[in-house]
Structure 1
Amino acid sequence: MNSGPKRIVIVGGGYVGMYTALRAQKKLSRGSAEIIVIDPQPNMTYQPFLPEAAAGSVEPRHVVVPLRRVLKKCRVLTGAVTEIDHERRSVQVRPGVGESYDVSYDLLVVAPGSIARTLPIPGLAEQGIGFKTIGEAIFMRNHVLGRLDFAASVEDPVARKRALSFVFVGGGYAGVEALAELEDMARYACRYYATIDPSEMRWVLVEAANRIMPEVSVGLSSYTADRLRERNIDVRLDTRLNSAVDGHIVLSDGEAFQSDTLVWTAGVRSHPLAAKSKLPVDERGRLTCNANLTVKGLTGVFSAGDTAAVPDLSKKDPNALCGPSAQHAVRQARVLGENLVRTVNGQALEDYKHGYAGSVASLGLYRGVAELYGVKVRGPLAWFIHRSYHLSRVPTFNRKVRVLADWTAALFFPREVVSLGQLQTPRSDFARAAAIS
């Protein structure tokens, strides 16, 4: 390392990247370090609000945080890191337009996050969509409302049934919350469609395990499944998706039907950059880390979040690792930011030890489940706790106020149930006009 200001390069501007940079820029003295954050997107998405953004309870712009506005003392580069060369202490950045270039570093944080964990299921790549980005959330809102518009405009019963069938694969938090919020929105929207009864819609949740939401207790998991079934949501446990070719859904229990909507939320996997980097990784492609969030066997390289295999010191099992959750990512980022400061200042690093507080989940408007310090909460109170918790966690006072304003307005005005499907193909009208001329 050079004797001047340290250059800290943070790969990824998500939970870990943004919160780490926030803590480091706050604690590092002026002139002691230069912080560079690199991400393909110029903003951080607060993913717990994606289901509410899809349902129209929160304005999509209020779910994302502009990195340059928040990281005022950092340099933000918009581009994808395609290669890490630790021997040369540099990363290769590919911008959206133009040639790739190298950025050198003294200290490196590898936190590109995760991508959807898919399986080689026929038709999945062509028919499925994930639920990890604001773009996917907006698409799903427009798509679901668009299917209602279509069903109300055709007389073919087969086409109607296909349009009104919605399939979600994966019963973790992401899948359950996305399905519950969108079903709630669609059920409300049906009041504006004289020819569609809510009972005509079919919502299917496919889960390979024997219960949904493994993050909570068995009792709360069963309660959640029962509440979904009360809303005529078809919860299929111990079931897998076998095929989805041309929208023909085939399940492992033998049932087959047509659907225009297939949402894949069956887990995530480490970003492939980690395995490609030639840094030490485990069998799941995650960087092997020490409890202090340094990468094992290397000097000056840190990682956290979904890309990192971090020991869970709160468990008795010495081989236990922290799971890929937002709660871990945010808390690890705080420790990581502090450890960057300690490294620059020549101080000893601290370990990350997670104290489990609990879990919260929304099941639609005024419905929720929560488990806090062993206490189980259900219904409207759990829904209120869910909103309060995430409002306290969403970054910046600006975003907190805007989200709160969205919720307050929703108390006095009806839901907006307009499909803006033209957003998906903004050039189509112009292209047709140009073809005519």
Structure 2
Amino acid sequence: MPKILIVGGGYAGFYTAWKLEKWLRPGEAEVTVVDPLPYMTYQPFLPEVAAGSIEPRHAVTSQRRHLTKTNVITAKVTRIDHASKTATITPEVGEPWEFDYDVVVVTGGAVSRTFPIPGIADNAIGLKTIEEAVAIRDRVLSNFDKAASLPPGPERDRLLTFVVVGGGFAGIEVFAELRSFASALLKYYPQITFDETHFHLIEAMGRIMPEVSLPTSHWVIKHLAQRGAEIHLDTQLTSALDGRIELSTGESFESDLIVWTAGVMANPGIVRTSDLPVEERGRIKARADLRVGDDDDFVPDAWAAGDIAAVPDLSGGGVGGYCVPNAQHAVRQGKLLAKNIVAVLRGEEPKEYFHKNLGAVAGLGLGSGVFQSGKIAIKGLIAWFAHRGYHGLAMPSWERKFRVFWGWWNNFWLGRDIVSLSALQAPRAQFEAFAARPKPPAAEAPAPAAPVAQKADAKAAKPVTAKPAEGAKAEAVGAK
């Protein structure tokens, strides 16, 4: 029975395994998914998680719960040697081992792409994982708690100044959601006024959200400005040392939260440790049928999809002729990938991936959104419903859909949950502070030294034996 190894359990990897379970006949192939995380993260929900609108666990899907016919290994693939069809699997605990496969599917996703700007590596946080979204939410809440007990001044301003770098969909969505979140928090913090909260989005290009039309992007900027959020276009971040933001325009201010959303890159931990062909931007070369290779030739038994792969966009709408790294493409490629693998196993020809983008939808905080399809643009409440409806139904499995919609329904009546769990970053801190520890063993005390006067008396009392004279010694020897 052929062994299919899926490297990465994100959108493309999860959907590939999920659909293979549906389309493979019993005993036709054995499927294994390897990912360092035991869940798939639905990334379009991360801005709402950061704003407290979605429970974090509802934005992820358990691999073991929903991939019931697949071998799930929670570990990293640290080497792919397709020439010998072996992969090195490295678990978090234990020794690495070699895994033999017949077919490899590389869907390792992407990571945040940063630039060598001073202070970014030490002070910024990305928005690619559920843990990052939770940390952003808790930081906002913790900063409000701290600022409420401080008098007006530089430290209070720093705690209430929030910065997002990058004006793409992810950046605009988290920026708008955080602005909405902060506005909703003000009624719980009467010590803080609206004018004391500051939101800055920094974008190096001359526009935001390239997926929508220019007039729509202008409406978003105006809409956010009316809500007290400032967008800096044609502006670069030059430094973020110690939280001090310095811009190419000469402006500077301090912030305690810097969210980086300015681009992604193919997962280097997988791309750089495999012998599969890679294109100039660091992605695995893929054909339109999702086999690894180019138009002239392909690598047998090797497939790639999602953000880690350079898949040609046959619709003509992609950047540079390739599919852009987003959830729409990753999910659809994963489904087609499963069909193509089954087709090749049965001696049939794979189909080419073709998807024409029908539109883009984004949430801009509670009750506000934007939708663009061709020349049609919808803004406001209707677009917000479209955003939630589309992504709510796109969440894999009815179990997860129900949890998400039920959470939204609860929030409609009860409001967002504003409890900060920042202590999760160091969960044992309080326990360690008060935990009883065994006392160190007492060292043996040295014998007390005798007083000087006592030593002198002892020396004087010691009997003195007179040495025999030389003559006496000689006499004694003769007698002997």
Question: What is the TM-score normalised by the length of structure 1?
Answer: 0.97
Deviation, 1:118, is: 0.5
| Mapped partners of 2:319, 2:327: distance in 1 | 23
Letter in 2 for 1:396: S
Deviation, 1:41, is: 0.4
- Residues 150 and 156 in structure 2, CA contact (< 8 A), matched pair in contact too: yes
1:271 aligns with 2:267: yes
Deviation, 1:317, is: 9.2
| Mapped partners of 2:340, 2:409: distance in 1 | 39
Letter in 2 for 1:139: A
After superposition, the Cα gap between the structure-2 partners of 1:318 and 1:143, relative to the gap in structure 1 and judged at 3 Å, is closer
Deviation, 1:374, is: 3.9
Q: What is residue 192 of structure 1 aligned with on the other side?
A: 188
Q: What is residue 343 of structure 1 aligned with on the other side?
A: 344
Q: What is residue 333 of structure 1 aligned with on the other side?
A: 334
The match for 1:139 among 135, 141, 156 is 135
5+ unaligned residues in a row in structure 1: which ranges?
A: none
Classify the secondary structure of the residue corresponding to 2:242. Answer: helix
After superposition, the Cα gap between the structure-2 partners of 1:257 and 1:82, relative to the gap in structure 1 and judged at 3 Å, is same
Deviation, 1:156, is: 5.6
5+ unaligned residues in a row in structure 2: which ranges?
A: 439-480
1:290 aligns with 2:291: no
- Residues 116 and 268 in structure 1, CA contact (< 8 A), matched pair in contact too: yes
Deviation, 1:414, is: 2.3
- Residues 90 and 105 in structure 1, CA contact (< 8 A), matched pair in contact too: yes
| Mapped partners of 2:319, 2:233: distance in 1 | 32
Deviation, 1:436, is: 8.3
| Mapped partners of 2:215, 2:171: distance in 1 | 19
- Residues 40 and 80 in structure 1, CA contact (< 8 A), matched pair in contact too: yes
Question: For 1:13-63, what per-residue CA distance to the aligned partner results, in whole angstroms no more than 9, with x for missing partners?
Answer: 000000011111110110010000000000001111111112221111111
The match for 2:71 among 62, 68, 75 is 75
Q: What is residue 169 of structure 1 aligned with on the other side?
A: 165
| Mapped partners of 2:167, 2:320: distance in 1 | 26
Q: What is residue 147 of structure 2 aligned with on the other side?
A: 151
Letter in 1 for 2:41: T
- Residues 163 and 255 in structure 2, CA contact (< 8 A), matched pair in contact too: yes
| Mapped partners of 2:375, 2:409: distance in 1 | 30
After superposition, the Cα gap between the structure-2 partners of 1:51 and 1:319, relative to the gap in structure 1 and judged at 3 Å, is closer
Letter in 2 for 1:85: D
| Mapped partners of 2:167, 2:241: distance in 1 | 22
1:281 aligns with 2:278: yes
Classify the secondary structure of the residue corresponding to 2:292. Answer: coil
The match for 2:219 among 216, 219, 223 is 223
Deviation, 1:276, is: 2.8
Question: For 1:226-268, what per-residue CA distance to the aligned partner results, in whole angstroms no more than 9, with x for missing partners?
Answer: 1111111110001111011111111111111111111100010
Larger of the two Rg values belongs to structure = 2
Q: What is residue 99 of structure 1 aligned with on the other side?
A: 95
Classify the secondary structure of the residue corresponding to 1:369. Answer: strand
Classify the secondary structure of the residue corresponding to 1:384. Answer: helix
| Mapped partners of 2:286, 2:248: distance in 1 | 38
Q: What is residue 432 of structure 1 aligned with on the other side?
A: 433
Classify the secondary structure of the residue corresponding to 1:370. Answer: strand
Deviation, 1:373, is: 4.8
Deviation, 1:425, is: 1.5
After superposition, the Cα gap between the structure-2 partners of 1:174 and 1:127, relative to the gap in structure 1 and judged at 3 Å, is same
Q: What is residue 62 of structure 2 aligned with on the other side?
A: 66
Letter in 2 for 1:412: W
Classify the secondary structure of the residue corresponding to 2:191. Answer: coil
- Residues 358 and 374 in structure 1, CA contact (< 8 A), matched pair in contact too: no
Q: What is residue 122 of structure 2 aligned with on the other side?
A: 126
Q: What is residue 409 of structure 1 aligned with on the other side?
A: 410
Deviation, 1:325, is: 0.9
Question: For 1:112-166, what per-residue CA distance to the aligned partner results, in whole angstroms no more than 9, with x for missing partners?
Answer: 1000000001110100000111111111111001011111112261100110110
Q: What is residue 43 of structure 1 aligned with on the other side?
A: 39
Q: What is residue 453 of structure 2 aligned with on the other side?
A: none
Q: What is residue 361 of structure 2 aligned with on the other side?
A: 360
Q: What is residue 385 of structure 2 aligned with on the other side?
A: 384
Deviation, 1:421, is: 1.6
Classify the secondary structure of the residue corresponding to 2:354. Answer: coil
- Residues 318 and 324 in structure 2, CA contact (< 8 A), matched pair in contact too: no
After superposition, the Cα gap between the structure-2 partners of 1:319 and 1:166, relative to the gap in structure 1 and judged at 3 Å, is closer
After superposition, the Cα gap between the structure-2 partners of 1:360 and 1:41, relative to the gap in structure 1 and judged at 3 Å, is same
The match for 2:5 among 2, 9, 12 is 9
- Residues 129 and 264 in structure 1, CA contact (< 8 A), matched pair in contact too: yes
The match for 1:109 among 83, 105, 108 is 105
| Mapped partners of 2:194, 2:430: distance in 1 | 32
- Residues 317 and 356 in structure 2, CA contact (< 8 A), matched pair in contact too: no
Question: What is the TM-score normalised by the length of structure 2?
Answer: 0.88
Classify the secondary structure of the residue corresponding to 1:299. Answer: strand
- Residues 41 and 61 in structure 2, CA contact (< 8 A), matched pair in contact too: yes
Question: For 1:309-355, what per-residue CA distance to the aligned partner results, in whole angstroms no more than 9, with x for missing partners?
Answer: 11111118996111111111111111111011111111111000112
Letter in 2 for 1:337: A
Question: For 1:163-185, what per-residue CA distance to the aligned partner results, in whole angstroms no more than 9, with x for missing partners?
Answer: 01101000111111111112211
- Percent identity among equivalent residues? 47
After superposition, the Cα gap between the structure-2 partners of 1:317 and 1:259, relative to the gap in structure 1 and judged at 3 Å, is closer
Please tell me the root mean square deviation across aligned C-alpha atoms, in Å.
Answer: 1.5
Deviation, 1:275, is: 3.1
Q: For 1:369-380, what aligned pairs fall within 5 Å after superposition?
A: 369-380=370-381
Deviation, 1:215, is: 1.4
